[in-house]
Amino acid sequence: MFITFEGLDFSGKTTQAERAVEKLRRLVIVEGMPHLVHFLREPGGTRISERIREILLDKTNLEMAELTELLLFSASRAQVVQQVIRPALQRGDTVVCDRYCDSTTAYQGYGRQVDLGMIQAVNAAATGGTMPDLTIIVDIPVEEISRRKDLAGIPFDRMESAGRAFYERVRLGYCALAAAEPGRVVTVDGTGSIEAIEQEVWKHIERIGDTHQRKRKLTP
pTM of the predicted structure, to 2 decimals: 0.90
One-letter amino acid for residue 37 of the chain = V
What integer pLDDT is reported at residue 211 of this predicted model? 65
Judged by DSSP in three states, 14 sits in: helix
At 136, give phi and psi (nearest 5°): -110, 115
2-211 placed in CATH 3.20.20.70 = no
User: What does the pLDDT read at residue 133?
Assistant: 97
DSSP 95-120: EEEES-HHHIIIIIIIIS---HHHHH
- For the chain, the structural domain boundaries read 2-211
pLDDT in tens, the chain (220 residues): 999 999 999 999 999 999 999 999 887 555 555 679 999 999 999 999 999 999 998 989 889 999 999 999 999 999 999 999 999 999 999 999 999 999 999 999 999 999 999 999 999 999 999 999 999 999 999 999 888 888 888 776 666 667 889 999 999 999 999 999 999 999 999 999 999 999 999 999 999 987 665 444 555 5
Q: What is the distance between the alpha carbons of residues 58 and 214, in angstroms, rounded to a whole number? A: 41
Alpha-carbon separation of residue 150 from 73, 115, 190 (angstroms)? 27, 33, 17
DSSP state of 138: E
CB 20 within 8 A of CB 96: yes
